[in-house]
Amino acid sequence: MERSEVFERLNEIFRDVFDDENITVTEETTSSDIEDWDSLTHITLISEIEDEFDMKFAMKEVVGMKNVGEMVDIIIRES
């Protein structure tokens, strides 16, 4: 899967989960860049991404991902 395609689909999910049409994520986006991105929404986000890409994150990835770029690496590797 192309990296750009992953970003495109990820953006949709982020907008849906945070209920904000103006969100655009990049390689460097972290949880501190999005106001509502707390541990609770993180769980929602992870579940939605797993659903969309039909893959599973490992537990250590869920708690260890540093930015959206890393998230995309995992999605490309696992799906």
Could you list the residues that contact another protein (CB under 8 A)?
A: 16-17, 19, 39-40, 43-44, 47-48, 51, 56-59, 62-63
Give whichever of 2 and 19 is closer to another protein, judged by the CB atom: 19
In the bound complex, what is the minimum distance in angstroms from residue 2's beta carbon to another protein?
Answer: 25
In the bound complex, what is the minimum distance in angstroms from residue 74's beta carbon to another protein?
Answer: 13
Three-state SS string over the chain comes to CCHHHHHHHHHHHHHHHCCCCCCCCCCCCCHHHCCCCCHHHHHHHHHHHHHHHCCCCCHHHHHHCCCHHHHHHHHHHHC
Give whichever of 52 and 73 is closer to another protein, judged by the CB atom: 52
Cβ burial, residue 8 (10 Å; 0-12/13-18/19+)? exposed
In the bound complex, what is the minimum distance in angstroms from residue 29's beta carbon to another protein?
Answer: 20
Give whichever of 27 and 58 is closer to another protein, judged by the CB atom: 58
